[in-house]
Amino acid sequence: MRRCHRRETDGRRERLIVPLLNKARALLTQVETWLAAGSLLLLLLLALLQIAARNLFDAGFATADTLSRYLVLYVMFFGAALAVERDRHIRIDVACSFLSRATLNRLYRPMHALAALVCALLTNAAIRYWRDAWLYAPEHERWLVLVGLVIPVGFGLLTLQYLLAAWLGPDQDA
């Protein structure tokens, strides 16, 4: 009786949480899509502006090249976070072709949880790296450290996407 009641409570909680998580995931994905697209567009515009400045005015923006290369990191992290949601990350999943769909579904949550754990540890390393970089950067290079904030944020987003995927499971996947 008590077990039955607990199962019902769990079920109710699940029914409340899952739609919320789905909404959160959709919102997160939407934001990542705009950030990824915006970063790539900015990268293209910056590169074209630099070419125009060099060829037409024989001048260039000193910081544009550095900024462009950091923008690639922005595209990389936001794109990688989107790739989690779309299940497009590169794998060497040789053994998976020998497994049934049911077994693959059973593996889905633990694999995504494990990926989330690795990303969380990398986020932690990135935060410590960034904090040190901020502390020891000369005043005129602080902006570069700020731009580099994308590394901890990017790993954080990957962690979040993997956690959501692990919680929601394969059936809820987009």
Partner 1 sequence: MMLFAIVVLIALALFGLPLFTVLGAGSLLYAQQSDLDSAVLVVELNRLATSPNLTTIPLFTFAGVVLAAGGAPQRLIRLFNALLGWLPGGLAVVAIAACAFFTSFSGASGVTILALGGLLYPVLNKVHYPERFSLGLLTTSGSLGLLFPPSLAILLYGIVSGVNIDDLFVAGIVPGTVLMLLLGTYAAVIGHRFRVSHHSFAWGVALRALRSALGDVLLPLLIIVGIFGGFVTVSEAAACTALYVLVLEAVIHKSIDLKQQLAALLADTAILVGSILIILGVAMGLTNLLIDAQLPMKLLAWMEQSIDSQLKFLILMNIFLLAVGAMMDIFSATVVIVPLLLPLAARFGVDPVHLGIIFLANLEIGYSTPPVGINLFIASQRFEKPIFGLFRATLPFLGLMLIWLMLVTYLPALSLWWRY
Residue 115 in the binding site for partner 1 (CB under 8 A): yes
* Interaction of residue 168 with partner 1, rule CB under 8 A: no
- Choosing from 25, 43, 153, 163, the residue that interacts with partner 1 (CB under 8 A) is 43
163 touching partner 1, by CB under 8 A:
no
| Window of 6-14, 15-23, 77-85, 166-174 that interacts with partner 1 by CB under 8 A | 77-85
The Cβ of residue 29 has, within 10 Å, a number of other Cβ atoms equal to 18
Pure H helices in the chain: 2-57, 64-85, 101-136, 142-147, 150-168
- Residue selected from 1, 5, 97, 100 as contacting partner 1 according to rule CB under 8 A: 97
- Which of residues 18, 104, 137, 149 is near partner 1 by CB under 8 A? 104
CB of 44 to partner 1, least distance (A): 5
142 vs 135: CA distance, rounded Å: 9
Closest to 14 in 3D by CA, of 159, 161, 165, 168? 168
Q: Indicate the residue type of 80.
A: A
